[in-house]
Chains A and B, each alone.
Chain A
């Protein structure tokens, strides 16, 4: 459903993403792994429309989305849970969810919000508190809840496990699998390579902005050279 062909992203002299081609199929989990500064975040931001691409082509459902602004892509069903969660700390938990539902029909969002609160009781009990009082794990749940409420067909997550305890990381990956079972395609960027490749069907290894390896996630996880380069620090 998502297809990138030779996508290039540059910031001035920095060539962040170099001719990356990538595919995510319907209801698939795809992981993009790689070291810091490999261009993973830039790649997701380019798909979300938050970053301009310099060349190449991004298509969603077979239609090019290159020229669509970020808000249009949200309406098409592409959402990004950004790195560092980026929840609105000046707003309440509920207002954050309302922002996630910004492009949705305003009459129907109430039931959507209740569904999110049913799923995350921790958030429900603080719906009228400022989001800044939430713990790191709760903030991540809010960030994902905020993305869920936009009814995405493709959810991209940028380093969702960053800063979470091992228990919370397990819960997070369970949630990702659950979303996937509901039919949402997932494009996951992670430094936690092991977990990401376990959850994913297919994977891409990004190095200095370019795809170095791609294939079945289980093959990548078993790859010796990759293990030395990226998984050794696990």
Chain B
């Protein structure tokens, strides 16, 4: 029973990693760019959401319904912040240097944005962990000794639906094909009539949405947010992406769940500090046997969606 409970907890935790890992994998796959701002985008949704609900909403929208509009504001902030990053890291260097992906500068700039966003929130709200309250914190299903949180199950289903929807979008829609064509060859995509300059912000909007959603799911399920919440999820999501295979949406799902499950089991058996060792140890061992991850292809930017 303990085993099953840990498995359930792991899957729920994994649902948060899935969205963030997909955000990482999209930017890597399409733009060949490791966007380090992603953990901050995740944190912004939670912290901005918290601060909106803390300081109260107009039109009588505060308790008990305040959580939803608050998180919507949070997610909007993540998307706007993501576009800001696009404007000043990716697009700026693309214009200046042609191909920005050949430079480490956008990567370093995105790291700069991570710290700026984090310390802006620290400056505004301090470093404390804040409680985030929703009316359904204690809604659970109980089967014998097994406890399944309804919001967590909803979150897992929601994450999966969004990722599956995203995968469908990439496969079956005109804009999705344009994204994949740009991932393979921006030059040829341009010759087909794709306006690559307009495609890039779409990737960043998706990144902001996925991270904002994951941050909101965390806030609802764990009833707390902090300026550091992104750091914990960021490294795990990167590990999840690499385990699943760079640039693979399905890999990110598998990787996210694997990381979530191994983390909860590791904490259960070896204590809280063992989680990172287990996750990264697993990653290193896996890479020895499968250098491209579970679902990865060997060339970055080639045929991953």
A2 at interface by CB-CB < 8 Å: no
Within 8 A of A (CB), among B187-209: 187-195
Residues of A65-110 at the interface with B, using a CB-CB cut-off of 8 Å, are 69-71, 74-75, 79-80, 82, 86, 88-91, 95, 98-100, 102-103, 106
Given A50-B187, A89-B302, A90-B303: A150 and B174 interface contact (C-beta under 8 Å): no
Q: How far is the CA of A130 from the CA of B303 in the complex (A)?
A: 10
Interface residues on B, range: 20 to 34
Residues of B with C-beta under 8 A to A99: 177-178, 181, 189, 192, 194
Size class of A's contact patch? 20 to 34
Say yes or no: B192 contacts A90, CB within 8 Å. no
CB distance from A158 to the nearest CB of B (A): 11
Q: Which single member of A70, A79, A86, A106 contacts B185 (CB below 8 Å)?
A: A86
B residues near A49, Cβ cutoff 8 Å: 190
Complex formed: what's the CA distance from A135 to B238 in Å?
38
- Per the 8 Å Cβ criterion, residues 162-191 of B in contact with A are 174, 177-178, 180-181, 183-185, 187-191
Q: Which of A90, A103, A146 has the most CB of B within 10 A?
A: A90
- Which residue of A80, A89, A90 is within 8 Å of B191 (Cβ)? A80
Minimum distance in angstroms from A60 CB to a CB of chain B: 15
The reply on A221 being an interface residue by CB < 8 A is no
The answer on a CB contact under 8 Å between A90 and B302 is yes
In the bound complex, residues from chain B placing their C-beta under 8 Å from that of A33 are none
Known: A74-B192, A75-B193, A80-B191. A88 touches B185 (CB 8 A): yes
B191 and A88 contacting across the interface, CB-CB below 8 Å: no
Complex partner residue of B190 from A70, A79, A100, A150, CB under 8 angstroms:
A70
Residue among A48, A69, A88, A150 with the most chain B CB within 10 A? A88
Interface set of A (CB-CB < 8 Å, partner B): 48-50, 69-71, 74-75, 79-80, 82, 86, 88-91, 95, 98-100, 102-103, 106, 130, 132, 146, 150
Q: List residues of chain B with CB under 8 Å of any chain A CB.
A: 174, 177-178, 180-181, 183-185, 187-195, 302-305
What 7 pairs between A and B have smallest CB-CB spacing? A90-B303, A103-B193, A74-B193, A71-B193, A86-B188, A102-B193, A70-B190
